[in-house]
Structure 1
C-alpha cells in the first residue's frame, strides 16, 4: 500500500511542480505590474533578472553537480546559447514590446497560443507524435485546443459579474506613474504588436523544444540554467544599453524595484528554469506548455481578490475549459507512456523467451566428417596390426 502511494506521488511530481511554477509566474507578473507603475523600464528589469539568476544558480551548480557534470561539448554549448537567446532575451523583449504597442488583453491572448505553437514545433522536431487514430493522440490534440480556447474565452469574454469577497487590499495606484498611462494608450500599431506577439510565441516555444533536446545530452539542470542565464544576460544588456538612455533607470534601492528583480531572478529565471528543465525530461515540451493558461486563470482570481479587479462569468467558463484541456493532455501523455512501457516490456519478454537456435556452418560439418574419417581409419589400422601379431 505504501509502495503504491509513493509511486502515485512520484508520477504526480511533474504536474505538481508545473502548477507551482505557474503560481511563481503569477507573482512575477504582479511584481512586473507594480514596478511598471513605479516607473521602472522593463528592459532594465530583464537585465537584472538574468544577472541575479546567474549569481544565484552558480553556487548551487558547484554544490550539487560538481562531480556528476558531463563534459561540455560544442553541441551543448550551442543549444545553451539558443536557449538563452530565444527563451531568455528574445521572448522577454518581444513580450515587452507587444505590451507597449498594444494592450494587456491583446498580449494575454497571444500568450495563450504557446501550447499550440509548441505542439507544432514538437511534431516538427519529432518530440511528439500526432497519432490521431489512437485515444492518446486525440486527447492531446483536443486538450490543447480546449485549453487554448478557454484561455481566449477568459481573455475576451466577460459576461455577468461574479461577486467575490473583498480584502480591501489594492496593490496598484495608477496615479503614481505616467508609464502606465502610456502603456494603456499605446494600442495604435496593432499590426507591429501582432508581429511581436508571434515572435514571443515562436521564441518561447522554440526554447521549450531546444531545452528538451539539451536535457537529453546535458541532464545537469543547474549548470544548464547558468549557461542560459549568462547568455541571456549578455544579450539583454546589449539591447538595454542600445535602447535605454536614462541612466537613472539602472539604480536599485531598498524598494519594489529590488524586490522585483531579485524575485524574478532567483525564483522565475533561476528556480523555475531548473524545474522546467527537469519536467521537460519527464514529459516533453508539450507537457510544459499546456500549463501556461493556468497562469492567466490564477491571475484572474488573484486580481479579483487583491488588485481591485472584477471576476466575470467568462473567467469561470474559461477556467473550466483550461482545466479540462489540461486534464486531457495529461491523460494522453500518461497513456502514451504506459503503452510505451508495455511495448518495451513485451519486446523484452519475447526476446528472453525465444528458443536458442544453434547454427553450424557447412565448413564445420566438413571438418567434423574429416575428423571422424581419420579416427575410423586409425581404428582399422590398429585392429589389423593386432590381428597380425596374434
Structure 2
C-alpha cells in the first residue's frame, strides 16, 4: 500500500469498514439482550483481535518493521484508551438503554467533531473562501442534519418487506418495567453515545499521528488491540468478578466476540489505519453516516424494527453530504498535486 491521496482504494475500504461495523451493532445488541456483561464483551473483543492480528503482523511486516520505541508504545496505549476502552464501553453502555439504530445515529456527529479537532490540530484547513472548503463544511453539516432528521423524525412506515424475523424476540429483561426503565435512562444513553463519539473522534486524530510515526498497519493495530485488551480486562475485573460472565459457550456470546474481535477490530481497524494515513481523519469520519443506514436496514430485517419516511429523507441528506465532502477532498488533493511535483 503506497502512500498517496488519490485512488478508489480508500473509498472502497471505508465502505467495507462501515459494512463490518453495521454488523457489529447487531451482534452487540444480541449479546446485550442475552445478558452478557458489556465490559466483558469489550475485553473479549480485543483479546480475539490481538490473537488474530499478532501472528499476521509478525509474518507480514517482520522484514520492514522498525524497532519499537517508547513513543510508539505510548501512542498505542493512548489509541487503545481513546478508541478502544473508553469509546467502546461508553458506546455499548449507551446502546443498552437506547437502540442499535439510535446509538449508530449518534456516530453521525463524528464528522463535525472530527472536523473541529482536525482544525485545532492543523490536520485540515477550513478554507471557507474556496469552493472545496465550502463543500467540506456543507457536506459535514448535511451529513449531521440527515442523521438528526433520521433520528428525530419518523413519519409513515415505509418498510418494503413484511417479514417477522426478530432475533432478540422476548429476551428483553423486565418486560414493561424494563421498557419504562430504559425510557427513563434515554437521556443518559444519549450522553454516553455522544461521549463515545467524542473519544472516537479524538482517536482518529491520534491515529493519524500514530500512522505517520509507525506506518506498519498490522503491527500498529495489533499493538493498539493488545493495549486495549489489558485496559478493558482490568476495567471489567474491577467491576465484575462473576466467573460465569467470562464463560463462553457455543452461543451468541461466542459468535459476537469472535465477529467483533476478528472482523470489527482485526480486519476493520487495519483498513481504518490505512485509510487515515492516506486521506486523513476527516475523510474517514464522513463515511460514518453510511453505517446508520445499514444498521437501520439490518435492524429492520433481523431485529423487528421498522423503517420510516424519516429514514429515507435522512438518507438523501447523508448521501449528499458524503459526496460533497469527498468532492471537496478530491479537489484539494488535485490542487495540491502540482505544487508537490517539483522538477
2:107/2:194 contact within 8 Å kept = no
| CA distance in structure 2 between the aligned counterparts of 1:41 and 1:340, rounded to whole angstroms | 49
Q: CA deviation at 1:192?
A: 4.7
TM-score by length of 2: 0.92
Give the deviation of 1:165 after TM superposition: 2.2
Q: Where do 1:63-74 residues align within 5 Å?
A: 63-74=59-70
* Aligned-residue offset at 1:311: 1.4
| Alpha-carbon distance in 2 for matches of 1:162, 1:288 | 30
CA distance in 2, matches of 1:256, 1:192: 27
- In the alignment, is residue 178 of structure 1 matched against residue 168 of structure 2? no
Superposition pairs for residues 303-382 of structure 1, below 5 Å? 303-345=299-341, 348-349=342-343
Q: How much has 1:194 moved relative to structure 2?
A: 5.0
- The SS at the match of 1:48 is helix
**1:15 paired residue number:** 11
Instruction: Judge conservation of contact 2:37–2:245 (CA < 8 Å) in 1.
Output: yes
Cα shift at 1:300: 1.3
Distance 1:126 1:323 in 2: 27
Aligned length: 337
Deviation at 1:52, TM superposition (A): 0.3
Q: How far did 1:149 drift?
A: 0.8
Give the alignment of 1:80-91 within 5 angstroms. 80-91=76-87
Deviation at 1:305, TM superposition (A): 3.0
Paired position in structure 1 for 2:3: none
Compute the displacement of 1:217 (Å).
1.2
Asked if residue 29 in structure 1 is aligned to residue 30 in structure 2, the reply is no
Match of residue 374 from structure 1: none
Q: How does 1:127-142 map to 2 (within 5 A)?
A: 127-142=123-138
Secondary structure of the structure 2 residue equivalent to 1:70 = coil
Q: Could you tell me which of 82, 103, 115 is aligned with 1:107?
A: 103
User: Residues of 1 paired with 2:180 and 2:288: CA distance?
Assistant: 24
Structure-1 residue corresponding to 2:267:
271
Provide the aligned C-alpha RMSD in A: 2.0
Matched-pair contact (CA < 8 Å) for 2:101–2:295 = no
Say which SS state the counterpart of residue 232 (structure 1) adopts. helix
Q: Counterparts of 1:254 and 1:127 in 2: how far apart (Å)?
A: 45
Q: 1:183 to 1:288 in 2, by over 3 A?
A: farther
2:287 maps to what in 1? 291
1:323 shift after superposition: 0.7
TM-score where L is the length of structure 1: 0.82
Instruction: Give the match for residue 52 of structure 2.
Output: 56
Q: Give the Cα separation in 1 of the matches to 2:144 and 2:188.
A: 23
- Report the counterpart of residue 298 of structure 2 in structure 1: 302
- Asked if structure 1 preserves the Cα contact closer than 8 Å seen for 2:30 and 2:167, the reply is yes
Distance 2:180 2:294 in 1: 22
- Structure 2 distance, partners of 1:306, 1:202, is 29
Q: Could you tell me which residue of structure 2 aligns to residue 40 of structure 1?
A: 36
Which of 213, 216, 230 is matched with 1:217 structurally?
A: 213
| Whole-angstrom CA distance in 1 between matches of 2:23 and 2:193 | 22
Q: Which ranges in structure 2 are unaligned for 5 or more consecutive residues?
A: 1-5
Contact 1:100–1:183, Cα closer than 8 Å, also in 2: no
Shift of 1:211: 0.4
**Which structure has more RCO (C-alpha within 8 Å, separation ≥ 6)?**
2
SS of corresponding position for 1:126? coil
Decide whether the 8 Å contact of 2:81 with 2:228 is kept in 1.
Answer: yes
2:249 to 246, 250, 253: 253
**Contact 2:123 2:280 (8 Å CA) reproduced:** yes
SS of the equivalent of 1:113 reads helix
Residues 36 and 179 of structure 1 are in contact (CA less than 8 Å); yes or no, is this contact kept in structure 2? no
1:241 partnered with 2:246? no
Q: Which residue of 2 aligns with 1:3?
A: none
Query: Structure 1 residues 301-310 or 317-326, which shifts more?
Result: 301-310
Bigger Cα Rg: 1
Aligned equivalent of 1:232: 228
Runs of 5+ consecutive residues of structure 1 not aligned to the other structure? 1-9, 350-390
